[in-house]
Copies of this chain bind each other. A is one copy, B any other.
Amino acid sequence: MPSFTLTDAVRDHWLDNFSISASDLGLPSSVPWSVTKRTLRGGRRDGVDLIQLNNGALSVAIVPTRGMSFWRGEYQGHFVGWKSPVTDGPVHPSLVNLQNAGGLGWLEGYDEMLVRCGLENNGAPYTEVVKGADGTERHITHGLHGKIGYIPAHFVAVHVNPQPPYEITIEGHVDEAKLFHTQVRMVTKITTVPGSNKLHVRDEFINLKEAPSEMQVLYHWNFGPPYLEEGSRFVAPMKTVLPRDPRGAEGIGHFDVYGAPEPGYAEQVYYFELHGEGAEGKTLAMLRDRKGNRGVLLRFSTSQLRGFTLWKNTSGLKEGYVTGLEPATNFPNARPFEKARGRVVAIPPGGSHVTETTLELIEGAEAVAKVEAEIKGLQAKGAPTIHPKPVEPFAPQV
Protein backbone atom coordinates (compact mmCIF):
# COMPACT_ATOMS: atom_id res chain seq x y z
CA MET A 1 0.00 0.00 0.00
CA PRO A 2 1.51 3.38 -0.94
CA SER A 3 2.27 5.27 2.26
CA PHE A 4 3.59 8.78 2.69
CA THR A 5 4.97 10.00 5.96
CA LEU A 6 4.34 13.72 6.38
CA THR A 7 5.66 14.12 9.90
CA ASP A 8 7.76 11.85 12.07
CA ALA A 9 9.21 14.22 14.63
CA VAL A 10 11.12 11.54 16.51
CA ARG A 11 12.90 10.47 13.31
CA ASP A 12 13.41 14.08 12.19
CA HIS A 13 11.15 13.69 9.22
CA TRP A 14 9.02 16.60 8.07
CA LEU A 15 7.43 17.76 4.82
CA ASP A 16 6.63 21.42 4.36
CA ASN A 17 3.99 20.65 1.80
CA PHE A 18 2.38 17.53 0.42
CA SER A 19 -0.12 16.76 -2.29
CA ILE A 20 -1.38 13.51 -3.74
CA SER A 21 -4.24 12.52 -6.00
CA ALA A 22 -5.58 9.47 -7.79
CA SER A 23 -3.80 10.38 -11.00
CA ASP A 24 -0.50 10.97 -9.14
CA LEU A 25 -0.67 7.32 -8.11
CA GLY A 26 -1.86 6.04 -11.46
CA LEU A 27 -5.16 5.01 -9.92
CA PRO A 28 -8.59 5.43 -11.55
CA SER A 29 -9.37 9.11 -11.34
CA SER A 30 -13.06 9.08 -12.17
CA VAL A 31 -13.56 10.29 -8.61
CA PRO A 32 -11.12 13.19 -8.28
CA TRP A 33 -9.91 12.67 -4.72
CA SER A 34 -6.89 14.41 -3.25
CA VAL A 35 -4.96 14.91 -0.05
CA THR A 36 -2.97 18.09 0.49
CA LYS A 37 -1.06 19.39 3.46
CA ARG A 38 0.22 22.87 4.16
CA THR A 39 1.09 25.15 7.06
CA LEU A 40 -1.15 28.13 7.73
CA ARG A 41 0.31 31.58 8.28
CA GLY A 42 -0.73 34.70 10.13
CA GLY A 43 -2.78 35.58 13.16
CA ARG A 44 -3.56 32.88 15.68
CA ARG A 45 -3.33 30.14 13.02
CA ASP A 46 0.32 30.84 12.28
CA GLY A 47 2.21 27.55 12.16
CA VAL A 48 -0.87 25.31 12.20
CA ASP A 49 -0.64 22.27 9.90
CA LEU A 50 -3.73 21.52 7.87
CA ILE A 51 -4.52 18.39 5.89
CA GLN A 52 -7.28 18.68 3.36
CA LEU A 53 -8.76 15.25 2.71
CA ASN A 54 -11.14 15.36 -0.23
CA ASN A 55 -12.67 12.07 -1.34
CA GLY A 56 -14.37 13.67 -4.34
CA ALA A 57 -17.74 14.10 -2.60
CA LEU A 58 -16.85 14.69 1.04
CA SER A 59 -13.95 16.80 2.20
CA VAL A 60 -12.65 17.45 5.67
CA ALA A 61 -9.84 19.62 7.05
CA ILE A 62 -7.80 17.68 9.58
CA VAL A 63 -5.55 19.55 11.99
CA PRO A 64 -2.50 17.57 13.16
CA THR A 65 -1.41 20.55 15.24
CA ARG A 66 -4.66 20.36 17.20
CA GLY A 67 -4.63 16.68 18.09
CA MET A 68 -5.97 15.47 14.71
CA SER A 69 -9.23 17.36 15.17
CA PHE A 70 -11.52 17.93 12.19
CA TRP A 71 -11.82 21.62 11.63
CA ARG A 72 -14.69 21.65 9.15
CA GLY A 73 -15.93 19.79 6.13
CA GLU A 74 -18.04 19.96 3.03
CA TYR A 75 -20.38 17.43 1.48
CA GLN A 76 -21.90 18.00 -1.94
CA GLY A 77 -21.63 21.72 -1.44
CA HIS A 78 -22.99 21.79 2.12
CA PHE A 79 -20.91 23.09 4.95
CA VAL A 80 -20.36 20.45 7.64
CA GLY A 81 -19.42 21.78 11.06
CA TRP A 82 -20.43 25.01 12.75
CA LYS A 83 -19.72 28.73 12.83
CA SER A 84 -17.93 29.40 16.08
CA PRO A 85 -17.42 32.78 17.75
CA VAL A 86 -13.77 31.92 17.10
CA THR A 87 -13.64 33.16 13.52
CA ASP A 88 -9.88 33.21 12.97
CA GLY A 89 -9.06 29.57 13.70
CA PRO A 90 -7.79 26.95 13.62
CA VAL A 91 -5.93 28.44 16.57
CA HIS A 92 -2.42 27.28 17.37
CA PRO A 93 -2.33 25.45 20.73
CA SER A 94 0.62 27.58 21.84
CA LEU A 95 -1.71 30.58 21.88
CA VAL A 96 -4.33 29.03 24.12
CA ASN A 97 -3.84 28.93 27.87
CA LEU A 98 -6.02 26.09 29.05
CA GLN A 99 -5.85 27.47 32.59
CA ASN A 100 -7.38 30.81 31.63
CA ALA A 101 -10.79 31.75 33.04
CA GLY A 102 -10.59 29.13 35.75
CA GLY A 103 -9.98 26.30 33.32
CA LEU A 104 -12.16 27.48 30.42
CA GLY A 105 -9.23 28.51 28.21
CA TRP A 106 -10.10 25.57 25.93
CA LEU A 107 -12.95 27.66 24.50
CA GLU A 108 -10.50 30.21 23.08
CA GLY A 109 -9.75 27.84 20.21
CA TYR A 110 -12.97 25.86 20.04
CA ASP A 111 -14.33 25.88 16.51
CA GLU A 112 -14.16 22.30 15.30
CA MET A 113 -16.55 19.84 13.72
CA LEU A 114 -14.82 17.13 15.76
CA VAL A 115 -12.60 17.62 18.76
CA ARG A 116 -11.70 14.82 21.12
CA CYS A 117 -12.00 15.61 24.82
CA GLY A 118 -9.72 13.91 27.34
CA LEU A 119 -7.62 11.96 28.05
CA GLU A 120 -7.14 12.70 31.74
CA ASN A 121 -10.51 14.36 32.04
CA ASN A 122 -13.38 15.68 30.00
CA GLY A 123 -16.40 17.76 30.92
CA ALA A 124 -16.60 20.98 32.91
CA PRO A 125 -13.57 22.20 34.88
CA TYR A 126 -13.27 20.97 38.44
CA THR A 127 -10.83 21.61 41.22
CA GLU A 128 -9.04 19.28 43.58
CA VAL A 129 -7.44 20.60 46.74
CA VAL A 130 -4.22 18.79 47.68
CA LYS A 131 -1.63 19.26 50.37
CA GLY A 132 1.74 20.31 48.99
CA ALA A 133 5.10 19.05 50.24
CA ASP A 134 5.32 22.17 52.41
CA GLY A 135 2.04 21.40 54.15
CA THR A 136 0.09 24.19 52.44
CA GLU A 137 -3.00 23.63 50.35
CA ARG A 138 -2.76 23.74 46.60
CA HIS A 139 -5.66 23.95 44.15
CA ILE A 140 -5.46 21.82 41.03
CA THR A 141 -7.90 22.92 38.37
CA HIS A 142 -8.61 20.36 35.68
CA GLY A 143 -9.66 22.41 32.69
CA LEU A 144 -12.66 21.94 30.45
CA HIS A 145 -12.36 18.89 28.20
CA GLY A 146 -8.72 18.13 28.92
CA LYS A 147 -5.72 18.54 26.66
CA ILE A 148 -5.81 16.01 23.81
CA GLY A 149 -7.34 18.53 21.40
CA TYR A 150 -4.39 20.86 22.02
CA ILE A 151 -1.48 18.44 21.55
CA PRO A 152 0.25 18.38 18.14
CA ALA A 153 0.62 14.98 16.49
CA HIS A 154 4.23 13.83 16.32
CA PHE A 155 3.54 11.38 13.52
CA VAL A 156 1.33 11.90 10.47
CA ALA A 157 1.05 9.67 7.43
CA VAL A 158 -1.21 9.11 4.42
CA HIS A 159 -2.01 5.63 3.15
CA VAL A 160 -3.84 4.74 -0.06
CA ASN A 161 -5.14 1.28 -0.89
CA PRO A 162 -4.13 0.61 -4.53
CA GLN A 163 -6.96 -1.93 -4.86
CA PRO A 164 -10.69 -1.13 -4.93
CA PRO A 165 -12.31 0.51 -3.12
CA TYR A 166 -9.10 2.59 -2.94
CA GLU A 167 -9.55 3.69 0.66
CA ILE A 168 -7.59 6.74 1.76
CA THR A 169 -6.35 6.79 5.35
CA ILE A 170 -4.85 9.61 7.36
CA GLU A 171 -2.91 8.33 10.34
CA GLY A 172 -1.84 10.48 13.29
CA HIS A 173 -0.15 9.80 16.61
CA VAL A 174 -0.76 12.04 19.59
CA ASP A 175 0.84 11.37 22.96
CA GLU A 176 -0.60 12.47 26.27
CA ALA A 177 2.25 11.35 28.46
CA LYS A 178 4.39 12.68 31.23
CA LEU A 179 6.38 11.40 34.18
CA PHE A 180 4.26 10.18 37.12
CA HIS A 181 1.04 10.43 35.10
CA THR A 182 -0.98 8.97 32.28
CA GLN A 183 1.10 7.78 29.33
CA VAL A 184 -1.29 7.12 26.50
CA ARG A 185 -0.65 7.30 22.76
CA MET A 186 -3.61 7.85 20.50
CA VAL A 187 -3.16 6.31 17.06
CA THR A 188 -5.96 7.61 14.91
CA LYS A 189 -6.78 6.29 11.45
CA ILE A 190 -9.25 8.36 9.49
CA THR A 191 -10.44 6.44 6.46
CA THR A 192 -12.72 7.24 3.56
CA VAL A 193 -13.60 5.64 0.25
CA PRO A 194 -13.41 7.95 -2.78
CA GLY A 195 -16.81 9.30 -3.70
CA SER A 196 -18.48 8.03 -0.53
CA ASN A 197 -20.50 9.91 2.07
CA LYS A 198 -18.58 8.32 4.94
CA LEU A 199 -15.61 8.92 7.16
CA HIS A 200 -14.42 6.22 9.51
CA VAL A 201 -12.51 7.25 12.62
CA ARG A 202 -10.63 4.48 14.40
CA ASP A 203 -8.71 5.55 17.47
CA GLU A 204 -6.48 3.21 19.39
CA PHE A 205 -5.43 4.42 22.83
CA ILE A 206 -2.24 2.59 23.73
CA ASN A 207 -0.96 2.44 27.27
CA LEU A 208 2.76 3.20 27.08
CA LYS A 209 3.33 2.43 30.73
CA GLU A 210 4.31 -0.83 32.31
CA ALA A 211 1.72 -0.11 34.97
CA PRO A 212 -2.00 0.45 34.17
CA SER A 213 -3.05 3.79 32.67
CA GLU A 214 -6.46 5.34 32.92
CA MET A 215 -8.20 7.41 30.28
CA GLN A 216 -11.46 8.96 29.18
CA VAL A 217 -12.40 10.20 25.76
CA LEU A 218 -15.41 12.09 24.46
CA TYR A 219 -15.99 12.76 20.76
CA HIS A 220 -17.33 16.27 20.49
CA TRP A 221 -19.00 16.22 17.04
CA ASN A 222 -20.51 19.62 16.33
CA PHE A 223 -22.99 20.63 13.66
CA GLY A 224 -24.83 23.79 12.76
CA PRO A 225 -26.85 24.69 9.65
CA PRO A 226 -27.88 23.28 7.26
CA TYR A 227 -28.32 20.20 9.44
CA LEU A 228 -29.41 22.25 12.42
CA GLU A 229 -32.43 24.52 12.05
CA GLU A 230 -35.67 25.20 13.85
CA GLY A 231 -37.49 21.89 14.01
CA SER A 232 -34.41 19.72 13.47
CA ARG A 233 -34.56 16.52 15.43
CA PHE A 234 -32.18 14.27 17.30
CA VAL A 235 -32.97 10.64 16.56
CA ALA A 236 -31.41 7.64 18.31
CA PRO A 237 -32.47 4.33 19.91
CA MET A 238 -32.78 5.56 23.47
CA LYS A 239 -32.74 3.41 26.55
CA THR A 240 -32.30 6.16 29.13
CA VAL A 241 -32.58 9.93 28.88
CA LEU A 242 -31.88 12.53 31.53
CA PRO A 243 -30.96 16.18 31.79
CA ARG A 244 -27.44 16.96 33.06
CA ASP A 245 -28.66 19.72 35.33
CA PRO A 246 -31.63 21.95 36.18
CA ARG A 247 -31.20 23.98 33.00
CA GLY A 248 -31.48 20.81 30.97
CA ALA A 249 -34.49 19.74 33.01
CA GLU A 250 -36.33 22.85 31.80
CA GLY A 251 -36.33 21.44 28.29
CA ILE A 252 -36.76 17.72 28.96
CA GLY A 253 -40.21 17.78 27.38
CA HIS A 254 -38.74 18.49 23.94
CA PHE A 255 -35.14 17.42 24.33
CA ASP A 256 -35.04 15.90 20.83
CA VAL A 257 -36.32 18.96 18.97
CA TYR A 258 -34.32 22.09 18.23
CA GLY A 259 -35.42 25.68 18.42
CA ALA A 260 -34.58 28.58 16.15
CA PRO A 261 -31.48 30.66 16.83
CA GLU A 262 -32.05 32.61 20.03
CA PRO A 263 -29.43 35.19 21.06
CA GLY A 264 -28.48 34.67 24.68
CA TYR A 265 -29.79 31.09 24.84
CA ALA A 266 -28.17 29.07 27.65
CA GLU A 267 -26.98 25.58 26.69
CA GLN A 268 -29.04 22.50 27.54
CA VAL A 269 -27.36 19.13 27.96
CA TYR A 270 -28.80 15.60 28.03
CA TYR A 271 -27.25 12.26 28.85
CA PHE A 272 -28.28 9.02 27.17
CA GLU A 273 -27.89 5.31 27.30
CA LEU A 274 -28.55 3.91 23.84
CA HIS A 275 -29.77 0.54 22.69
CA GLY A 276 -27.24 -1.40 20.67
CA GLU A 277 -27.12 -4.49 18.50
CA GLY A 278 -25.24 -7.59 19.54
CA ALA A 279 -22.37 -8.02 21.93
CA GLU A 280 -20.64 -4.94 20.55
CA GLY A 281 -23.70 -2.83 21.01
CA LYS A 282 -23.65 -1.35 17.52
CA THR A 283 -25.74 1.76 17.55
CA LEU A 284 -26.31 5.04 15.75
CA ALA A 285 -27.46 8.60 16.37
CA MET A 286 -28.66 11.15 13.87
CA LEU A 287 -29.30 14.85 13.63
CA ARG A 288 -31.74 15.59 10.82
CA ASP A 289 -33.23 18.74 9.46
CA ARG A 290 -36.85 19.74 10.00
CA LYS A 291 -38.31 18.15 6.90
CA GLY A 292 -36.20 15.03 7.08
CA ASN A 293 -34.38 15.74 3.83
CA ARG A 294 -30.84 15.74 5.22
CA GLY A 295 -28.96 14.44 8.19
CA VAL A 296 -25.63 13.69 9.83
CA LEU A 297 -25.32 10.25 11.29
CA LEU A 298 -22.83 8.73 13.69
CA ARG A 299 -22.38 4.98 14.00
CA PHE A 300 -20.46 3.55 16.94
CA SER A 301 -20.61 0.81 19.59
CA THR A 302 -21.79 1.13 23.15
CA SER A 303 -19.17 -1.43 24.18
CA GLN A 304 -16.48 1.08 23.18
CA LEU A 305 -18.35 4.29 23.87
CA ARG A 306 -20.96 3.75 26.54
CA GLY A 307 -21.98 7.29 27.37
CA PHE A 308 -23.72 9.63 24.97
CA THR A 309 -24.23 13.32 25.50
CA LEU A 310 -26.39 15.70 23.51
CA TRP A 311 -25.43 19.36 23.68
CA LYS A 312 -28.05 21.82 22.54
CA ASN A 313 -26.76 25.32 22.04
CA THR A 314 -29.27 27.07 19.85
CA SER A 315 -28.05 30.57 20.56
CA GLY A 316 -27.73 33.31 17.95
CA LEU A 317 -26.19 32.45 14.60
CA LYS A 318 -23.12 34.53 15.40
CA GLU A 319 -22.82 33.17 18.93
CA GLY A 320 -22.57 29.50 17.99
CA TYR A 321 -25.86 28.00 16.81
CA VAL A 322 -24.76 24.42 17.21
CA THR A 323 -25.47 21.03 18.62
CA GLY A 324 -22.99 18.45 19.86
CA LEU A 325 -23.48 14.71 19.35
CA GLU A 326 -21.00 13.20 21.77
CA PRO A 327 -20.30 9.50 22.05
CA ALA A 328 -17.86 8.91 24.88
CA THR A 329 -16.35 6.37 27.24
CA ASN A 330 -18.14 8.21 30.02
CA PHE A 331 -20.47 11.06 30.88
CA PRO A 332 -18.70 14.40 31.05
CA ASN A 333 -19.03 14.79 34.79
CA ALA A 334 -16.03 15.54 37.00
CA ARG A 335 -13.60 12.65 36.79
CA PRO A 336 -13.86 11.59 40.45
CA PHE A 337 -17.62 11.19 39.99
CA GLU A 338 -17.09 9.05 36.90
CA LYS A 339 -14.30 7.06 38.50
CA ALA A 340 -16.48 6.17 41.47
CA ARG A 341 -19.12 4.89 39.05
CA GLY A 342 -16.74 2.77 37.00
CA ARG A 343 -16.74 4.95 33.92
CA VAL A 344 -13.01 5.59 33.65
CA VAL A 345 -11.24 3.16 31.30
CA ALA A 346 -8.26 1.30 32.79
CA ILE A 347 -5.84 0.14 30.10
CA PRO A 348 -3.56 -2.67 31.21
CA PRO A 349 0.19 -2.54 30.57
CA GLY A 350 0.83 -3.22 26.92
CA GLY A 351 -2.87 -2.97 26.20
CA SER A 352 -5.08 -0.49 24.40
CA HIS A 353 -8.65 0.75 24.13
CA VAL A 354 -10.11 1.08 20.66
CA THR A 355 -13.00 3.26 19.56
CA GLU A 356 -14.57 3.41 16.14
CA THR A 357 -17.00 5.96 14.85
CA THR A 358 -18.36 6.43 11.36
CA LEU A 359 -19.68 9.76 10.17
CA GLU A 360 -22.26 9.54 7.41
CA LEU A 361 -23.76 12.45 5.54
CA ILE A 362 -27.34 11.60 4.61
CA GLU A 363 -28.99 13.30 1.65
CA GLY A 364 -32.61 12.93 0.56
CA ALA A 365 -35.88 12.07 2.25
CA GLU A 366 -35.58 8.43 1.35
CA ALA A 367 -32.13 8.04 2.86
CA VAL A 368 -33.18 9.84 6.01
CA ALA A 369 -36.29 7.68 6.33
CA LYS A 370 -34.18 4.56 5.96
CA VAL A 371 -31.96 5.59 8.87
CA GLU A 372 -35.03 6.43 10.95
CA ALA A 373 -36.44 3.00 10.24
CA GLU A 374 -33.17 1.42 11.34
CA ILE A 375 -33.27 3.40 14.55
CA LYS A 376 -36.89 2.47 15.09
CA GLY A 377 -35.88 -1.17 14.75
CA LEU A 378 -33.37 -0.80 17.56
CA GLN A 379 -35.81 1.19 19.64
CA ALA A 380 -38.03 -1.89 19.62
CA LYS A 381 -35.70 -3.27 22.26
CA GLY A 382 -37.54 -1.14 24.78
CA ALA A 383 -39.14 2.23 25.29
CA PRO A 384 -36.89 4.93 26.71
CA THR A 385 -36.89 5.78 30.38
CA ILE A 386 -36.97 9.55 30.49
CA HIS A 387 -35.93 11.11 33.77
CA PRO A 388 -37.19 14.63 34.31
CA LYS A 389 -34.22 15.46 36.54
CA PRO A 390 -30.55 14.53 36.87
CA VAL A 391 -30.35 11.08 38.35
CA GLU A 392 -27.73 8.66 39.63
CA PRO A 393 -25.63 6.91 38.52
CA PHE A 394 -25.49 9.12 35.42
CA ALA A 395 -25.25 12.62 36.84
CA PRO A 396 -24.92 14.30 40.22
CA GLN A 397 -28.31 14.97 41.74
CA VAL A 398 -28.85 18.61 42.53
Interface residues, chain A, CB within 8 Å of chain B? 7-10, 12-14, 40-47, 84-88, 92-95, 97-104, 107-108, 110, 123-128, 130, 132-143, 147, 151-155, 175, 177-181, 183, 208-211, 244-245, 261, 263-264, 267, 313, 315-320, 333-334, 336-337, 349, 396, 398
Contacts and interface: CB of A to CB of B under 8 A. Distances in A.
A133 B333 contact: yes
A10 B333 CA distance: 35
Most buried by B among A41, A46, A316, A398: A46
B153 A130 contact: no
Contacts of A9: 40-46, 88
B319 A210 contact: yes
Nearest to A139: B139
Contact of A134 (B10, B134, B334): B334
A45 B126 CA distance: 30
12 contacts: A7-B42, A9-B45, A43-B155, A97-B99, A103-B138, A107-B181, A126-B133, A126-B138, A127-B137, A134-B333, A210-B316, A211-B264
Contacts of A12: 40-41
A377 to B, nearest CB: 35
Contacts of A180: 104, 107, 267
B95 A319 contact: no
Q: How many copies altogether?
A: 3
Nearest to A10: B88
CB-based closest 10 A-B pairs: A102-B140, A210-B316, A43-B154, A9-B43, A94-B94, A210-B263, A134-B334, A14-B41, A88-B154, A9-B42
A69 B317 CA distance: 31
Name which of A98, A100, A107, A313 has the most chain B CB atoms within 10 A of its CB.
A100
B175 A139 contact: no
A140 B143 CA distance: 11
Determine which residue in A13, A211, A316 has the highest number of CB atoms from chain B within 10 A of its CB, and name it. A211
Contacts of A264: 210-211
Given A9-B42, A100-B99, A349-B263, A133 B211 contact: no
A124 B130 contact: no
Contact of A86 (B153, B155, B177, B319): B177
A101 B335 CA distance: 14
B98 A100 contact: yes
Nearest to A156: B42
Residue of A9, A103, A261, A398 most packed against chain B (CB within 10 A): A9
B110 A318 contact: no
Given A7-B43, A152-B44, A263-B209, A102 B85 contact: no
Nearest to A264: B211
Contacts of A95: 93-94, 151-152
A71 to B, nearest CB: 13
